[in-house]
Chain A
Amino acid sequence: MTAIKMTPFGIFYHKFRQRRTAMVAGVFILILVLVAVFAPVIAPYDPFLTDYSLSMMPPSTDHLAGTDLYGRDILSRIIYGARISLAVGITSVLFGALAGVTLGLISGFFGGFLDGLIMRTSDVLFAFPGILLAIAIVAILGPGLVNVVVAVSVFSMPTFARIVRGSTLALKESLYVRSARSIGASKKRIMFVHIMPGTLSSVIIYFTLRIGTSIITAASLSFLGLGAQPPTPEWGAMLAESRDYIGVADHMTLFPGIAIFLTVLFFNLFGDGLRAALDPKLK
């Protein structure tokens, strides 16, 4: 065998490709993003168009996923719903990650009082399971999608802070960071240029795995009536509307649920693949 010199990205890509499920998941996520972006072009109907003569029609060639109580096309609503779920899922984890990474870096790098303060605060946040914390935040801010994003960001934050703090503590004592310090690099430079990139692989893994959880949490809040309000075509809210018609119009329960399930499943499989490829502890 000839030894091929590989770049770090090459090694990653090579390992990642071996996980076929993760590759499939990646392709699905890409398609989903495209569907969300081009929703107005792809959706066969206006997701808000009501037609009472078509109330709760089962799937047909005209309406592939059937219609809901108000005769709206469920497939179109699911396609538009992808925009909401992806946007809420990704932005909330992004905000949580930005805040968490910064806090984790500060906590690990400076130690002492700041470290204690940040870590005790995250202990308090950890004391609540995500969904309860989110409900409490929505109870304060009021129902709505923006507040759901705030709520989900807040409960993603402490985990990012902990992960980054852990890696920062380890990297702070590494040879290259000590060298950087000895040649007089500023604290800011050491934190963001030397330490932060070293923490990124675990952040990326957790980021991907977290998107699935966030999408479920956001959909759950909408299902509970605390998130997206009718007539917004949000998957969780659509399921809430379907609840009273179990046994009467089962397609209303089936399709939005499949949309959430597959989206979350593929994000999780993708995250698992990333972890397998990026985590040095796993073979």
Chain B
Amino acid sequence: MLKYFLKRLIAIIPVLVVVSILACGFVHLLPGDPARMMAGQDADAETIEKLRRDLGLDRPLPAQYVTYMAKVFRGDLGMSLKSKLPVFDEIALRYPPTMILAVAGMAWSVVFGVFFGAIAAIYSGKWQDYTAMLVSVSGISIPQFWLGLLLIQFFSVYMGWLPVAGYTGKLSELILPSVTLGATVAAIMARFTLSAFLDVLDEEYISTARAKGVSEQLVMWKHAFRNALIPVVTMIGLQFGFLLGGSVVVEMVFAWPGMGRFMIDAVAVRDYPVLQALLLLYSFHFVFISLMVDMVYALINPEIRYE
């Protein structure tokens, strides 16, 4: 077991290195001179030169990478070109709102997704199945930003029940954004639970349980449902990365003060130190999430370990 974990841990190192090289070298992929791009159109030659020296863009690439990463490990992510504040502080401010949004979206999408998926499996071929799957395919097909706008239109503007946008820490402000963010994942979870459930129902121990006279309800909820949850658990981890990505769009719709909106603003004003830091942070999150998923999966499914 430990050997498998170590192997997986070592395997992510090259991925992390490549990702960090990409995030760090990102400014050199820009068409033209990065210092000129960052300084803006009407900057004079002196400003550009100063910026180039300050950011170390005049030094060889490997040296730039080493310096950048050494700084990253000390918590120094550079200065935002727009606000002139440390990027680290700017991100620290926006990290909690994004995580709260993603966790809330995940929580309700798991509950609803698993519930509807299980219903569809238990009533396979009946109207409950078709309804649940129609809702699910609609959830996958609906653009999040449109769903968000519709929810604002109905619940905030017409009914006046919930705030339109923004986040100051109130629970009522979290409802619409998290529902919007979780909708697609809920739909994916429902489909996935359905297929996991149907796979389990084909297993021999289900027939055995039925043959020995266990009630259908007990077969479904105790024997089948619990085993169907195993693949669903790993799916939760994978979908969390998807939620973090999706939060970019949702944060823009609801003026949510998180990392996603920060990223779009940074793209708009070409604030490259901010973009570099966010890309690094996001990708490290995703790599670690997939590592966690693999490990949880190995814990609950012994076959994987001995491959």
Binding site for B on A (CB under 8 A): 120-121, 123-124, 126-132, 135-136, 138-142, 212, 216, 219-220, 223-226, 236, 239, 242-243, 246-247, 250, 253, 257, 260-261, 264-265, 268-269, 272
Q: Does B149 contact A (CB under 8 A)?
A: yes
Inter-chain CA distance A260–B26, complex, in Å, is 32
- Interface secondary structure of A, over-half rule: helix
**Interface contact B264-A224, CB-CB below 8 Å:** yes
- CB interface residues, B 7-34, toward A, < 8 Å: 14-15, 18-19, 22, 26, 29-31
Chain B residues within an 8 Å CB radius of A264: 141-143
- What is the interface size of chain B, counting residues whose CB is below 8 A from a CB of the partner? 45
- CB interface residues, B 106-154, toward A, < 8 Å: 137-138, 140-146, 149-150, 152-153
**Interface contact A220-B158, CB-CB below 8 Å:** no
Q: Given contacts A136-B279, A140-B29, A220-B144, is CB(A129)–CB(B242) below 8 Å?
A: yes
Inter-chain CA distance A123–B14, complex, in Å, is 10
**Interface contact B248-A247, CB-CB below 8 Å:** no
**Interface contact B245-A257, CB-CB below 8 Å:** no
**Interface contact B19-A261, CB-CB below 8 Å:** no
Distance in Å: Cβ of A249 to nearest Cβ of chain B: 11
Inter-chain CA distance A141–B19, complex, in Å, is 19
- CB interface residues, B 134-190, toward A, < 8 Å: 137-138, 140-146, 149-150, 152-153, 157-158
**Interface contact A124-B141, CB-CB below 8 Å:** no
The CB with the most chain A CB atoms within 10 A, among B30, B244, B245, is that of B245
**Interface contact A257-B279, CB-CB below 8 Å:** no
- Residue pairs across A and B with Cβ atoms less than 8 A apart, 24 shown, are A120-B14, A127-B15, A128-B245, A128-B286, A129-B242, A129-B244, A130-B245, A131-B245, A132-B263, A135-B248, A136-B279, A139-B275, A141-B31, A212-B140, A220-B143, A220-B144, A220-B145, A225-B264, A239-B143, A242-B149, A246-B153, A247-B158, A260-B143, A261-B146
Chain A residues within an 8 Å CB radius of B138: 261, 265
**Interface contact A253-B149, CB-CB below 8 Å:** yes
B256-299 interface bits toward A, Cβ cutoff 8 Å, 1 = contact, 0 = none: 00000001101110000001000100110011001000000000
Among A120, A128, A243, A269, point to the contact of B137 (Cβ < 8 A).
A269
**Interface contact A129-B267, CB-CB below 8 Å:** no
* Residue in B closest to A129 when the chains form the complex, CB atoms: B245
Inter-chain CA distance A134–B275, complex, in Å, is 13
